[in-house]
Amino acid sequence: MDSKKGSLVVVGSGIKTVGHLTQEALAWIKAADKVFYVVSDPVAEGVIQRLNPGKSESLSGLYEEGKRRMETYEQMIERMMASVHAGMRTCAAYYGHPGVFAYPTHMAIKRLQKQGYEAFMLPGISAEDCLFAELGVDPATTGCQSYEATAFVINGHVPNPKAALILWQVGVFGRGDYSRSNYQPKGFHYFVEHLAKFYPTDHKVCIYESAMFPGCKPREDWVAIQDLDKARLTPASTLYIPASERAKPNLELLKLLESL
């Protein structure tokens, strides 16, 4: 194999960048011939730039007002692949976990692997990991379901009310475009109506936003489902819905299993 053949490793910057970057991710960022990054705050950008000065480039500039997100994602994929094709050891650092709500990273890896290049992903800390810690939630207690908010409604998913439910990107419900200033959900009443099919309208749910900086507190606003359309939502908002019903264990089967 040609020793100059390029490669791609995708790493996550985590939510609290300084504390969440793993030693493995740091090593790959430092060793790369080229680093692309998509992060959400200037602290994270500064850290990456200092780790690999002169070779680090943000892809966030590919986002444009009113531009379809999928178009931006394809451009990100092209930039990463072009770097690998040029023979460079390429590292892509994405906010949070690089494989959670990160279409470009998964597709770049799949396409490069199909072409015979080395391409892989390292895990990172996601908003879900922070949610479990900051809300004091153990997903094993009732079980846990997880959906992107728009897909949850348009695909007609039926949640299990005996298990917790996490809905991502509620603050951009119904939108496929990018906006820096006007990120209001479209047709949000459809989202609330869908939830009301499965949960009591007075069931309390949490609008959650993880804390990005040390010493800061996460956002934890508990509201009734019927009041969700009046609540303040942002692109960072995640909705956590606790179970509204108790599971009924099969005690006879439990006794049988214990006797085996």
Tracing tokens 């011939």 back to the chain, one arrives at 33
Beta bridge partner(s), residue 217:
none
Give the residue from 101, 73, 242, 72 showing the smallest Cα distance to 168.
101
- Active-site residue list: 69, 73, 95
**Structure tokens belonging to residue 59:** 């892809």
d(CA 32, CA 212): 26
In one-letter notation, the amino acid at residue 146 is S
Backbone torsions φ then ψ of 193, nearest 5 degrees? -65, -35
Question: What does DSSP assign to residue 177?
Answer: B
d(CA 151, CA 9): 29
**Structure tokens belonging to residue 228:** 């969700």
d(CA 196, CA 203): 9
d(CA 70, CA 178): 10
Q: What is the dihedral of CA 95, 234, 172, 180, to 10 degrees?
A: -70
d(CA 78, CA 69): 14
Cβ-contact 209, 234 below 8 angstroms: yes
